[in-house]
Amino acid sequence: MRARRSNDSRAAPPQDPASDSGRQSSGSARRWQIWAQQAAAGQRPCFASELRFTCREPDCPWRDECQHLRAEWHR
């Protein structure tokens, strides 16, 4: 099966419109949710923040999403 990405109009999987992540996976709700999870686990809430520039955690479960190019006003 051909790989698809966000610019392929057929790519978007159906999402639950009621869920936070259904609105926009990179939005503020998603960010705060992950920060809360990181904090609850005793970690620094660094997801999608500028700390990603110096990240040394290759095994972080959010790494792919976190390291995606993200304009300054989306961080």
Partner 1 sequence: MNANTCGRNGTARVSFHFPERFVSALTRDTLALVLAGGRGSRLGGLTTERAKPAVPFGGNMRIIDFALSNCVNSGVRRIGVLTQYKAHSLIRHLSLGWGFMRGELGEFVELLPAQQRTDGGWYIGTANAVYQNIDIIRAHDPRFVLILGGDHIYKMDYGGLLATHVEQQADVTVACMEVPLADACAFGIMEIEPDGRVCGFEEKPAAPSGMPEQPDFALASMGIYVFTADYLLDRLRQDSLNPASEHDFGKDILPLAVQQDRVFAAPFRDPKTGARAYWRDVGTLDSYWAANMELIGVVPELDLFDTQWPIRTHQVQAPPAKFVFDDEGRRGMAVDSMVCNGCIVSGALVRHSVLFSRVRVEESSRVTDSVLLPEVVVGPDCHIHKAVIETGCRLAAGTVIGVDPEQDRQRFEVSPAGVTLVTPEMLQQNLDYIR
Q: Are 5 and 11 in contact, with CB atoms under 8 Å apart?
A: yes
15 binds partner 1 per the rule CB under 8 A: no
User: Counting contacts by CB under 8 A, is residue 45 touching partner 1?
Assistant: yes
Up-side HSE of residue 55: CA atoms within 13 Å toward CB?
A: 21
**At residue 3, what are phi and psi to the nearest 5 degrees?**
-70, 145
Task: Tell whether residue 1 is a contact of partner 1 (CB under 8 A).
Answer: no
CA angle 46, 29, 27 (to 5 degrees): 85
Give 14 or 18: the residue with its C-beta nearer to partner 1: 18
Using CB under 8 A, pick the residue from 14, 16, 54, 56 that binds partner 1: 54
- Residue 60 contacts partner 1 per CB under 8 A: no
Rounded-to-integer distance, Cα 44 and Cα 13, Å: 31
Contacts with partner 1 by CB under 8 A lie at 2-8, 20, 26, 29, 32-33, 35-36, 38-40, 44-47, 49-54, 63-64, 67-72, 74
